[in-house]
Amino acid sequence: MEKSTDLKLLGTKESIFTQRIVWALKLKGIDYEFIEQDFSSRSSPLLVELNPIYKKVPVLVHCGKPISESLVILEYIEGTWPFNPLFPVDPFERASARFWARFIDGKFYEAANKAFFSSGETKAEGVESVAEGLHILEGQIIGKKFFSGETIGYLDIVVGWIAYWLQYIEEVGEFKAMDSRKYPHLHAWINNFIQVPIIQESLPKSDAVKAAYKGFKDAAALAGAN
């Protein structure tokens, strides 16, 4: 791997946002130190010091300078280490990738949270919104092996949590939106993405992911009862 001076990543293995950075660094072949954070408590003294605004992972620390928020970190990685590029070269394609990344982290992620944490009619609305998002993504992947073309790129990294984490979000959240029969091209992308060795070897254990989401669910229920 490419040796980088003083590069550290604060994160948790179960975090979808942390994994984006892990994947990007490994795909570029950049060596780094991983500093594990407690998934149940994101406010360690070091995390608060390095990310005082949001107090959450991931945080990339390069030569003593912290960078927060996964999409921002991905941009920083690409700009600092341009070899093995993850972003499209074409300006329009790059802008399009950024647009869809914001769709994933905005509308789609919010819909998944709504389906996961809510109940009754509100939950049904969330599930419907997740299904709508999957339908949109299905249209974007038709005719491609990956969202970025023949190889994994920036948008695949951003969408990547759907390939592994969504099944556990559905299981713990007691809803179902992903259907391989309805979204065959997205399902094929999931298989292609998961089979890439760098992706596969970085995935957290399923029990740990389910335990993390169960913790989120229980904490939300407790907060709602108080």
Chain segment 5-20, per-residue pLDDT in tens = 599 999 999 999 999 9
Q: What is the mean pLDDT of the chain?
A: 94
- Do 37 and 120 share a domain, yes or no? no
Q: Which amino acid is at 197?
A: P
- Do 125 and 16 share a domain, yes or no? no
| Alpha-carbon distances, residue 21 vs 56, 165, 171, 194 (angstroms) | 14, 16, 25, 16
- Euclidean distance between CA atoms 188 and 223, whole angstroms: 39
SS3 33: strand
Asked if the peptide bond before residue 58 counts as cis, ω within 30 degrees of 0, the response is yes
**End residue of a domain, out of 22, 52, 80:** 80
Residue 28 lies in a domain: yes
Q: Which amino acid is at 125?
A: E
pLDDT at 127 over 80: yes
What is the residue whose two structure tokens read 């669910």?
217
**End residue of a domain, out of 56, 80, 104:** 80
Token readout for 151 is 């190889």
Please give the pLDDT value at position 44: 85
- Euclidean distance between CA atoms 207 and 151, whole angstroms: 29
- Do 221 and 114 share a domain, yes or no? yes
Q: How many residues are recorded in the chain? A: 226
Residue 82 banded pLDDT, cuts 50, 70, 90: very high
Residue 86 lies in a domain: no
- The average pLDDT across 106-127 equals 98
What are the phi and psi torsion angles at 33 (to 5°)?
Answer: -105, 125
Q: State pTM to two decimals.
A: 0.94
- Do 100 and 73 share a domain, yes or no? no
pLDDT at 4 over 80: no
Sign (positive or negative) of CA dihedral 139, 141, 144, 145: negative
Q: Which amino acid is at 20?
A: R
